[in-house]
Chains A and B, each alone.
Chain A
Amino acid sequence: MRYLSDVAALARKDLLLELRAKETIPAMLLFVLSALTIFHFAIPRGSSDVAALGLLWVAIVFTSLLGLTRAFVPEREQGLMDALIMAPCDRSTIWLAKTLSVIAFLGVAEVVALPAFTLFFSGLNLKTVAAVVLADIGIASVGTLTGAMAVAGNARELIQPLLFLPLSIPVIVGGIGASATAGPKFLLFLALYDAVFVLLSWAAFDFVAAEA
């Protein structure tokens, strides 16, 4: 499969860059642990678990924003998006590879953050963990697309949070809902969000990556 081997080559490049530079993952870890520490002291003792879970989701979304704003830094600084979009591979492979590496970085941050959360606050149920996994997929898909728009456009730094944060609101709603209510309704909602935005981003990437 040409498609998958292109994705593998590109994703391997992203992991290699992170291994060399060691910038994104440490920054995400520092951010999410600081956020949880601050929340720990900020919310009064005896508050409901739902309040703490809400803050967990806020921490996850902003941690992912941190990773996402860094996702295209190597391409942006050296104009490398040009080199990538000129290659004879399907352009969506660039999006898919970047999305996968963002999911991997986010996964590393959460493997540390979720145990830290149980330490600081309450335990986590399986449904919350499932919701986090589903949320990662949606967040990375949308964020990689908006990140690519930021590279192509001129308002660079600003455009990423401006586009990404509103689009991530359903993820927070779905995440808190899944953590706090019974039944699979909100997990299904997150899965639907993933399906819609994975397809949309996959199809739209070609148009946002190239200069008009």
Chain B
Amino acid sequence: MVSARNLSKRYDTRRIFDKVDIDLDEGGFLLVTGPNGAGKTTLLRVLAGLAAPTSGELVLPVRGEIGYLGHEPLVYKQLTPRENLTLFGRLYRVPDREQRIKALLERFALWDVRDKAVATFSRGMQQRLGLGRVLLHEPKLLILDEPFNALDTAGAALLDEELATRSRRAVVVATHDPGRVEGLATERLAFT
């Protein structure tokens, strides 16, 4: 599903990462670790197709089959959860959109605030909505950058559960808390 050979990224002359190889198939789970500024986010953005690698070969699923959650939840703050998910559901051609949105909002405990502006949400509620957004179209490649950020115990447990079901998809997670997903990882990449 993901195949990278000699993948490198530079900003000007600064090497962010160099000659990275990745092979990830269905059911695969790549755990990316490293200190602040090591290049985790940069790698994940390259894998999401949001930034081009400086050199190397990269094979990715087509655009609509990737789900990327970055440091920001990537939702419109002035819109409500339902309006946000409806917009992305339309753009991603999600079948049974209404039901799927309802199920996700209920699952992430956002159903009661479905018609409130996201701007009024706490950071953790926004992160839950961000997770709902990336899961909405059932991506084949799920890329999560510090997904446990700001989540409470219940939210983190929901994410654990989601990450444990890996049929028909590959997962890439960057985190500062590798212990949390250690058991799930099939591949590891440690930046220094």
Contact = CB atoms under 8 A, between A and B. Distances in A.
Given A9-B87, A78-B74, A79-B72, A86 B49 contact: yes
Interface stretch (A15-23, A111-119, A166-174): A15-23
A129 interface: no
Contacts of A212: 52
Contact of A87 (B48, B64, B78): B64
Contacts of B65: 88
Contact of B74 (A9, A83, A211): A83
A74 interface: yes
Interface of B: 48-52, 62-66, 68, 70, 72, 74-79, 83, 87-88, 90-93, 117, 133
A82 B50 contact: yes
A80 interface: yes
28 contacts: A6-B90, A6-B91, A9-B87, A9-B91, A10-B87, A13-B83, A13-B87, A16-B79, A16-B83, A17-B76, A20-B79, A20-B117, A21-B78, A77-B77, A82-B48, A83-B133, A85-B50, A86-B48, A86-B49, A86-B50, A86-B63, A87-B63, A87-B64, A87-B91, A87-B92, A88-B93, A89-B91, A211-B51
Which are the 3 A-B pairs with shortest beta-carbon distances? A88-B64, A87-B91, A83-B74
A47 interface: no
Nearest to B49: A86
Interface of A: 2, 5-6, 9-10, 13, 16-17, 20-21, 74, 77-80, 82-89, 210-212
Contacts of B68: 82, 86
Contacts of A86: 48-50, 63, 66, 68
A211 B52 contact: yes
User: Binding site of B, secondary structure by majority: helix, strand, loop or mixed?
Assistant: loop
Contacts of A87: 63-64, 88, 91-92
Given A20-B79, A79-B72, A210 B91 contact: no
B91 A88 contact: yes
Nearest to B67: A86
B111 to A, nearest CB: 21
Nearest to B117: A20
Contacts of A13: 76, 79, 83, 87
A113 B64 CA distance: 43
Nearest to A79: B72
Interface centre among B48, B50, B83, B133 (most CB of A within 10 A): B50
B51 A20 contact: no
A89 B88 CA distance: 11
Contact of B78 (A6, A74, A82, A210): A74
A9 B90 CA distance: 7
A38 B95 CA distance: 55
Nearest to B63: A88
Contact of A5 (B50, B62, B90): B90
Contact of A88 (B51, B62, B78): B62
Nearest to B69: A83
B60 to A, nearest CB: 11
A185 B50 CA distance: 45
A90 B8 CA distance: 28
A84 B88 CA distance: 8
A1 to B, nearest CB: 13
B78 A20 contact: yes
Contacts of B87: 9-10, 13
A21 to B, nearest CB: 6
Contact of A17 (B50, B64, B72, B79): B79
Given A77-B77, A80-B76, A87-B64, 20 more contacts: A2-B93, A6-B90, A10-B87, A13-B83, A16-B79, A78-B72, A78-B75, A79-B72, A79-B74, A80-B75, A82-B48, A82-B74, A83-B88, A84-B91, A86-B48, A86-B63, A87-B63, A87-B88, A87-B91, A88-B62
